[in-house]
Chains A and B, each alone.
Chain A
Amino acid sequence: GDSVTQMEGPVTLSEEAFLTINCTYTATGYPSLFWYVQYPGEGLQLLLKATKADDKGSNKGFEATYRKETTSFHLEKGSVQVSDSAVYFCALSSGSGGSNYKLTFGKGTLLTVNP
């Protein structure tokens, strides 16, 4: 079945440091890939996505490139801020026919950014 593996952390960085959170996946077919962010006590927010190989998703300074050859979708940001402190989830979506798309999530990576 489908699976997502991401570095579990926790990751602790100083403000303005470079961030990479690794994510690799196993799936049949051609899944769509996502990064979600969860701030303390809140639900998940879609951060960025990519729907086909070599696509780059980007939002709020975060980027991730869909690499089919390495089955990876690593999240990067050049300069993190304290406000980026949150849990980050990598996920994939494989349609099961019709209009239903189920998400398979990684276990999440807790990021703490210190001033």
Chain B
Amino acid sequence: SQTIHQWPATLVQPVGSPLSLECTVEGTSNPNLYWYRQAAGRGLQLLFYSVGIGQISSEVPQNLSASRPQDRQFILSSKKLLLSDSGFYLCAWSRGYDQYFGPGTRLTVT
């Protein structure tokens, strides 16, 4: 069966510091991968998606970036965090219509 991991689970970072969140998927190959952010108020915003290694599409212009160095690894990064980057970050994978979500990373920027 497929599983999706995210780490860290929680993170508190000062404004201006760098960020690296990691997502890995097990039990499948060549999945589509997604990063979402859920800010206070519950709505989900698609940030990036990837259909293959090195292929990244950005949905919203911002100071975040994503990379996919391996087939089942998806990384979300920032060089300098802003207060507005606080939120719950969710990674998801799919091989068709259904998307399956990881447990999420709670990021607080102070």
Contacts and interface: CB of A to CB of B under 8 A. Distances in A.
A102 B46 contact: yes
Contacts of A87: 42
Contact of A46 (B32, B51, B99, B104): B99
Provide the main secondary structure of the chain B interface.
Answer: strand
B42 A43 contact: no
B82 to A, nearest CB: 23
Which of the four size classes fits the interface of chain A?
A: 20 to 34
Contacts of A43: 6, 90, 101-104
Which of the four size classes fits the interface of chain B?
A: 20 to 34
Interface of A: 32, 34, 36, 42-46, 49, 51, 87, 89, 93, 95, 98-103, 105, 107-108, 110
Given A34-B98, A43-B101, 4 more contacts: A36-B101, A42-B104, A44-B90, A102-B46
Interface of B: 6, 32, 34, 41-44, 46, 49, 51, 90, 92, 94-104
